[in-house]
Amino acid sequence: MRRTLLMLAAFVSGCSKGPETDLQYIKQARSLAAEWALINQQAEAGAVTRTYAESMHQWLHDGLQTASVSLTQPNSAYGAEIRALIAEPEDAAPDRLRSHSEALKQIEDKLESA
C-alpha cells in the first residue's frame, strides 16, 4: 500500500505543470541568448563568416521558438522575456542579448531555489 502511494505521488508530481516544468525551457532560452550574444560579438569582430553567423542565427531562432511553444505558462514573465528575445533582430547588440540572458538567469535561479 505504501509503495503504491509513493508511486502515485511520483506520477502526479511528474504530471505537474507550471514554472518548475518550464525550467528546462528557461535554461535552454538563457543558453541560446548567451550563445547568440557570443556569435554577434564574433561577427562584429570579423572572427566568423557571414554564412556561419546566418546559419547560427537560424539555429538559435529555431531553438528559441521551440522553447517558447513548449512552455506550460506562456503568459508568464519568462514567457514574455523569451518572446522579447525572439523579436530581437539577428544582428542585435551582444549586450542587449546578454541582458535577456541575465533576466532569464535570475528567473531560473529563483525557481531553482524555491
Closest CA to 56 of 76, 71, 80, 38: 38
Confidence of residue 2 (pLDDT cuts 50, 70, 90): low
Q: Would you say residue 12 has pLDDT above 50? A: no
pTM across the whole model: 0.84
Report the pLDDT averaged over residues 3-14: 43
- The amino acid present at 8, given as its one-letter code, is L
* For range 84-108, the mean pLDDT: 98
Burial (Cβ within 10 Å: 0-12, 13-18, ≥19) of residue 12: exposed
